[in-house]
């Protein structure tokens, strides 16, 4: 059964001048994780906002757990959880206050809200910080509390909009751990991300979107296959690069690329390990010693590049290393 269905969603901004969603369709099977992967401005957040009743599409249909999002938004709100870059908690209140307040707003009753808050704080390792205002929390703690707030009533479908954007590598790892726990518990999850690695790690299925459209979808393995087969890579001493290139091209039947700096020769191959063996044999015969050799499957980066014709966002870690990087990040999310 499909838990989330979006059909032909169109959303334009600025009187039709900016097309955020261009007949986007996707669905999520119950109990699975779909990652919506795309660069900034691809339409990820718009999609989530429509599915979570925050935004009305210009046209198209959407339903969550069989309930029409446009016709019965109030019923959808009862069964979803939303967390992410744009759904926040009250910074001035403590973590505990926030969770109790949201519990009450979910109509749990005061007592039940308190119990649930304590339970969630414990589960997300926030018990110690419970009585501190959110503004004293680290980025990772904030996101965990935010996630906790979206789990108060055990939602049927959970939406996480870029749950790790802006986190440092450690915060990201922690968040992944928490999400993986949830997934094990069998929640239906729609997760957006601009990080290929994240989609690869967390999702059963990936929908790649660009310019408001789904341009590819499938498991990470399927997507990688779509881009092409494996690549053979050999690193040799610099004086042997030219000769190695000749050998590799002869075996693979394709032209090889050379990175002089890395002394790396690479070429697509269709025969896998047989090609690898052949190349090694030929190198040996020519008296060339391979420093490193291997078969590489395409990364999701390659997938993205070949699907969209442009490179995906730079990785978080690189982005946050320099102050300039983190500043850039802030400006982008604004």
Partner 1 sequence: MSAFQDTMIITQRQLRLLTRVPEVLIFSTIQPIMFVLLFRYVFGGSIDSGQPGGYVQLLMPGIFVQTVAFTLAGTAAGLAEDMKKGLIDRFRSLPISQSALVLGRTLGDSLLNIVVLAAMGITGLLVGWRPSGGLLNTVLGFLFLLGFGYALSWVGIFVGLSAKDARVVQNVSFLVTFPLTFLSNAFAPTTGMPRALQYFAEWNPVSTMVAACRELFGLENQFGATAGSFPSENPLITSILYMFLIMAIFIPLSVRKYKRVSH
- CB of 74 or CB of 128, closer to partner 1: 74
* In contact, 100 and 113? CB cutoff 8 Å: yes
- CB of 26 or CB of 89, closer to partner 1: 89
Residues 6+ apart with CB under 8 A from 287: none
Minimum CB separation from partner 1 for residue 321, in Å?
26
Minimum CB separation from partner 1 for residue 75, in Å?
8
**Other Cβ atoms within 10 Å of 153 Cβ, number:** 16
Is residue 305 packed enough to be buried (19+ CB in 10 Å), middle (13-18) or exposed (0-12)?
middle
Rounded Cα–Cα distance for residues 54 and 70 (Å): 10
Minimum CB separation from partner 1 for residue 220, in Å?
29
- CB of 146 or CB of 200, closer to partner 1: 146
Pairing of strands 157-161, 80-84: parallel
Contacts to partner 1 by CB under 8 A: 49, 52-56, 74, 77-78, 80, 82, 85-94, 97, 101-102, 104-107, 133, 149
- CB of 81 or CB of 298, closer to partner 1: 81
Minimum CB separation from partner 1 for residue 67, in Å?
12
How is 223-256 classified by DSSP, letter by letter? HHHHH-SEEEEEEE-GGGHHHHHHHHHHHHSSPP
Minimum CB separation from partner 1 for residue 24, in Å?
17
Token pair in block for residue 158: 């959970």
* In contact, 195 and 85? CB cutoff 8 Å: no
Token pair in block for residue 147: 């996630």
- CB of 145 or CB of 199, closer to partner 1: 145
Q: Which residue has the tokens 């070429």?
A: 267
Minimum CB separation from partner 1 for residue 85, in Å?
7
- CB of 194 or CB of 252, closer to partner 1: 194
């Amino acid at each position: 059964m499909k838990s989330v269905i979006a059909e032909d969603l169109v959303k334009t901004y600025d009187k039709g001048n900016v097309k955020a969603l261009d007949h986007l369709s996707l669905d999520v099977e119950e109990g699975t994780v779909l990652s919506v992967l795309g660069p900034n401005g691809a339409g990820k957040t718009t999609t989530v906002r429509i599915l979570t009743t925050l935004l009305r599409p210009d046209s198209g249909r959407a339903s969550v757990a069989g309930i029409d999002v446009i016709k019965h938004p109030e019923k959808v709100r009862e069964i979803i959880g939303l967390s992410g870059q744009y759904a926040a908690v009250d910074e001035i209140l403590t973590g505990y206050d926030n969770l109790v307040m949201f519990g009450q707003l979910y109509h749990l009753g005061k007592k039940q809200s308190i119990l649930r808050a304590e339970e969630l704080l414990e589960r997300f390792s926030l018990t110690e910080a419970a009585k501190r205002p959110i503004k004293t929390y680290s980025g990772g703690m904030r996101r965990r509390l935010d996630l906790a707030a979206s789990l108060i009533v055990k939602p049927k479908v959970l939406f996480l909009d870029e749950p790790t954007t802006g986190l440092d590598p450690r915060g990201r790892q922690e968040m992944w751990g928490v999400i993986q726990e949830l997934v094990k518990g069998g929640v239906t999850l729609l997760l957006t991300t601009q990080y290929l690695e994240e989609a690869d790690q967390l999702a059963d299925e990936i929908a790649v979107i660009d310019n408001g459209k789904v341009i590819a979808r499938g498991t990470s393995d399927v997507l990688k296959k779509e881009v092409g087969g494996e690549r053979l890579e050999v690193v040799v001493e610099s004086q042997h690069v030219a000769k190695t290139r000749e050998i590799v091209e002869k075996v693979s039947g394709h032209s090889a690329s050379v990175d002089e700096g890395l002394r790396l020769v690479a070429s697509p191959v269709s025969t896998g390990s047989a090609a690898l063996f052949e190349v090694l044999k030929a190198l040996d015969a020519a008296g060339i010693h391979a420093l490193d050799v291997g078969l590489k499957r395409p990364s999701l980066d390659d997938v993205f590049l070949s699907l969209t014709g442009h490179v995906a966002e730079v990785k978080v870690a690189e982005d946050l290393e320099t102050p300039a990087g983190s500043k850039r990040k802030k400006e982008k999310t604004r």
